[in-house]
Chains A and B, each alone.
Chain A
């Protein structure tokens, strides 16, 4: 059975897209088939895998707008087990068009029910807002991962994210559950970063992933090469961290 994960937090620049790309890649290393869906008009996830959103004609915007768009015509194959439904800049316009529809936030869920991707994991990356595109991701998924930067201002947005999840659970998607809160951009030498991590752990307890993603330039460099960190620097500690995270995700689903 396919597990559908969404990675969401309305704070930008905290590693959502990098996390999506690398979890996907780490899962394929374990032999799973993975479909990544990029719902962010900025196309960070697509870029991290070498697909330029400026060039994308058929992508997630078409899948959201056209009932009859075949899923395999709006997707690309990255390697043997990894598939990507890339984002296009047109997603911004698509969001405006969706806003006029009564089924605006259930479009992705319905499309995936009509045309389920024959994979083990679907991972949805969302834009740094709580708009229609993010709502589509939250409605289509069963499990939510909230990446949080280990910093005060970044942590402040978690409350809104939890409220959004709670409302959607109540009204649209009762099967949505919090898979885990993921600490990102952790700086071991920073007292502030240590405190932030401690507070997150004290609140979310076992809902925090044990894996912590430390700040490292490698996260910024890998997308320049159009590769995941795992492909770009397979033996780097960051690559191992994503592998560990993938293992946690697999185990939490059991």
Chain B
């Protein structure tokens, strides 16, 4: 085998073109030392430039390429149209090819088209295997608890819907005077009354204002 039967292709100087798509760079003949410590400095502006170069260098190039592409030929012949004359296949083999094409077609459109059912319609499969709903044998659960001690505390409490039926509560003997002493759940039970109370307060204030105004007007009329 002959030696040196090719001219060695060098990448020197083409780093920006290869890594960032910058077409403006030219290969350099004189090799630089890759270990030159001066090359390891990068200012903030250079760092921004590094990211900007990626898109600037790429976009016009890509657009020019896109314009140059011929339109896609979409009406490709189907296997059924190819059956027989043009394909030197036995009947069995033709049937096999057609079946394979149909199944691959359904798979293809299933993946890239409309064939995938929405998540909520997914039949029982791995999707339904939510570990939160699976009861583990006690020995397995204890191993998990041991290995992941404290991990469940990092998660915020999971919101659970309120029970539909009201829970019977004992009648309070003494009304709580300190609002802070009222348990949060109990405080929340009166939240829906706030707009009603506020409405009544506003109505009473308007009534008092009107009474004062009327009495002043009456007094002025009497004096006048």
B168 located at the interface, meaning its Cβ lies under 8 Å from any Cβ of chain A in the complex: no
Which A residues between 61 and 82 are near B, CB-CB below 8 angstroms? 61-62, 65-66, 68-75, 77
**In the bound complex, what is the Cα–Cα distance between A207 and B8 (angstroms)?**
29
A109-127 CB contact bits vs B (8 Å, 1 = yes)?
0000011111000000000
Which B residues between 25 and 66 are near A, CB-CB below 8 angstroms? 31-34, 39-42, 46-47, 50-51, 54-55, 58
- Comparing A150-158, A215-223, A229-237, the segment that makes contact with chain B is A150-158
Find A205's partner among B40, B51, B122, B158 (CB 8 Å cutoff).
B40
A175 located at the interface, meaning its Cβ lies under 8 Å from any Cβ of chain B in the complex: no
- Chain A hits for B42, CB < 8 A: 205-207
- Chain B hits for A158, CB < 8 A: 18-20
Contact check, B155 vs A71: say whether CB atoms are below 8 A apart.
yes
A171 located at the interface, meaning its Cβ lies under 8 Å from any Cβ of chain B in the complex: no
Which of B13, B14, B132, B151: most chain A CB closer than 10 A? B151
- Chain B hits for A191, CB < 8 A: 8
Contact check, A155 vs B152: say whether CB atoms are below 8 A apart.
no
| A203 to chain B: closest residue by CB | B15
Report the minimal beta-carbon distance from A153 to chain B, rounded to whole angstroms.
10
Counting contact residues on chain B (CB < 8 A from A), the size range is 35 or more
Find A69's partner among B21, B119, B130 (CB 8 Å cutoff).
B130
Contact check, A159 vs B54: say whether CB atoms are below 8 A apart.
yes
- Chain B hits for A251, CB < 8 A: none
- Chain A hits for B89, CB < 8 A: none
A172 located at the interface, meaning its Cβ lies under 8 Å from any Cβ of chain B in the complex: no
| A115 to chain B: closest residue by CB | B155
- Give 6 pairs: A residue, B residue, CB < 8 Å, sorted on A: A68-B132, A71-B151, A100-B116, A158-B19, A158-B20, A159-B18
Q: Which residues of B are interface residues toward A (Cβ below 8 A)? A: 8, 10-16, 18-21, 31-34, 39-42, 46-47, 50-51, 54-55, 58, 111, 116, 118-119, 122, 126-127, 129-132, 144, 147-148, 150-152, 154-156, 158
Question: Closest 4 CB pairs between A and B?
Answer: A199-B15, A198-B34, A72-B148, A73-B131
Further 17 A-B residue pairs, CB within 8 A, beyond A114-B155, A195-B10: A57-B129, A65-B119, A66-B132, A71-B151, A71-B155, A72-B152, A73-B132, A74-B131, A77-B148, A88-B126, A162-B51, A163-B58, A192-B11, A194-B34, A199-B19, A203-B15, A208-B40
